[in-house]
Amino acid sequence: AGTPVERAKATLAALGADGDAPSRRSRSTTAPTVAVAPGRVNLVGGHTDYNDGLCLPMAVDRHVAVAARPRSDDLLRVRAADFDETAELAPDDDPKGWAAYVAAVARVLREEDPIGGADLAIASDVPTGAGLSSSAALELAVGRALLAVSGRDLPAADLALACWRAEREGVGVECGILDQFSAALCEADSALSLDCRSRETEPVPLGDGVGVLVIDTGVSHELTESGYNDRVRECAAALDTLREDADRDLDSLRDVDRDLLDAHADALDPVHFRRVRHVVTENERVRRARDALAAGDLDRVGDAMLAAHDSLRDDYEVSCPELDAAVELAAETPGVYGARMTGGGFGGSAVALVDDDALDRAERAIRDAAPERVGPDADVFACRPSAGVRLVGEE
């Protein structure tokens, strides 16, 4: 029971009380530092980030909290409250599971400047494996907490890039920057327009009349074991073919538009053609949705979300029957503007944009129908747009 911040603090206090206590100096003189970082949904812009494309994520009001205090040695002693597990990490250790994220972030941060040893306690209410980017939230909260106990600071975008490198190099997911930038740079009450090529971000206020529902299918996805890295490679192979056939210097699929794709369609393997078509049309949908959201045209945002789902299902093939059912169920629910799968896919969650006045009714209707329509472990909850990573007390 309790919020992630309360649980992280209590867990850290309990960690100090056991036999393997931290140094007396750090225990007696240092109040805990607490960092929180949010999960996210992505309203539009799926699988565009590693193709230098556009996204429109929104951080949710569910967080990973990390309570920390310095140690006098260089160990990281980390207690995961939700898993009831403790890991003790020396600087060169290479653990598996959740501790891999902690070790990878510490390793990347150490490349610039030293970070001190620390006791860390982690607690979260971001569901794991649900496509809500719990791992980026963990990375950002750990990173912010480690910097703080080491007397260091980094701009949020630099911390996001460090955590992105940690995920790629330390954990082995060939992801783009979407999740780490969302957990770092989203602002309260807003979606975030993110250009993954320039790395420019701009908040787009969501407006009072909009609610957001998450429909967690209960089908867990695991990016490292899914077809995610296959999609990254298919895009890279398609880009090589297009460069050769068009004899053009293309930096990424961001440089490909519909005309270029159509002109060189015959050179592409049909599967690769569909992958590129998704990326090209998805960037167009993000532009459309971003402008429509800024103009308060929620019907248009919803249409872009529904079209995005079709494209992710048919051209990119990263959906699954439960996600399709969740989107279908949401789309037929009164008050829903649109819905799509969010995150890497192959399981996880769908996100729906809903008229705020109809939010409670829509949530109930979807929750009632979800066990039969989506799956026995489906869960439905409303969320509010939240700010990115921060130290508690500095909000």
Write out the residues near ligand GAF by the rule CB under 6 A: 42, 46-47, 49-50, 133, 175-176, 178-179, 343-344
Taking the C-alpha atoms of residue 192 and residue 286, their distance in angstroms, rounded to an integer, is 11
CB burial of 225-235 (b: ≥16 within 10 Å; e: otherwise) equals ebbbbebbebb
**Count of positions (residues) in the chain:** 395
Q: Please say if 153 is a catalytic residue.
A: no
Residue 348 vs 375, nearer CB to ligand GAF? 348
Residue 38 vs 46, nearer CB to ligand GAF? 46
Residue 188 burial by Cβ neighbours in a 10 Å radius (0-12, 13-18, 19+): middle
Q: With contact defined as beta carbons under 8 Å apart, do 58 and 183 qualify?
A: no
Q: With contact defined as beta carbons under 8 Å apart, do 245 and 267 qualify?
A: yes
Q: Closest distance between ligand GAF and the C-beta of residue 109, in Å?
A: 20
Taking the C-alpha atoms of residue 265 and residue 260, their distance in angstroms, rounded to an integer, is 8
Q: Closest distance between ligand GAF and the C-beta of residue 85, in Å?
A: 24
Q: Closest distance between ligand GAF and the C-beta of residue 344, in Å?
A: 3
Q: Closest distance between ligand GAF and the C-beta of residue 266, in Å?
A: 28
Q: CA 286, 292, 298 angle in degrees (round to 5)? A: 110
Beta-strand runs (E) in the chain: 33-44, 54-70, 76-80, 85-89, 118-124, 190-195, 201-205, 210-216, 336-341, 349-355, 379-383, 390-391
Q: With contact defined as beta carbons under 8 Å apart, do 68 and 146 qualify?
A: yes
Residue 119 vs 179, nearer CB to ligand GAF? 179
Residue 12 vs 162, nearer CB to ligand GAF? 162
The tokens for 248 are 């053009």
Taking the C-alpha atoms of residue 175 and residue 194, their distance in angstroms, rounded to an integer, is 15
Q: With contact defined as beta carbons under 8 Å apart, do 341 and 309 qualify?
A: yes
Taking the C-alpha atoms of residue 267 and residue 332, their distance in angstroms, rounded to an integer, is 40
The tokens for 270 are 């049909």
Taking the C-alpha atoms of residue 106 and residue 298, their distance in angstroms, rounded to an integer, is 41
Residue 81 vs 212, nearer CB to ligand GAF? 212
Instruction: Find the catalytic residue in 49, 52, 119, 179.
Output: 179
Q: Closest distance between ligand GAF and the C-beta of residue 23, in Å?
A: 37
Q: With contact defined as beta carbons under 8 Å apart, do 70 and 207 qualify?
A: no
Taking the C-alpha atoms of residue 331 and residue 353, their distance in angstroms, rounded to an integer, is 10
Amino acid at residue number 274: R
Residue 286 vs 325, nearer CB to ligand GAF? 286
Q: CA 5, 224, 97 angle in degrees (round to 5)? A: 45
Q: Closest distance between ligand GAF and the C-beta of residue 349, in Å?
A: 11
Residue 46 vs 375, nearer CB to ligand GAF? 46
Q: Closest distance between ligand GAF and the C-beta of residue 221, in Å?
A: 9
Q: With contact defined as beta carbons under 8 Å apart, do 22 and 77 qualify?
A: yes
Residue 344 vs 375, nearer CB to ligand GAF? 344
Q: Closest distance between ligand GAF and the C-beta of residue 167, in Å?
A: 7
Catalytic residue numbers, as ranges:
179
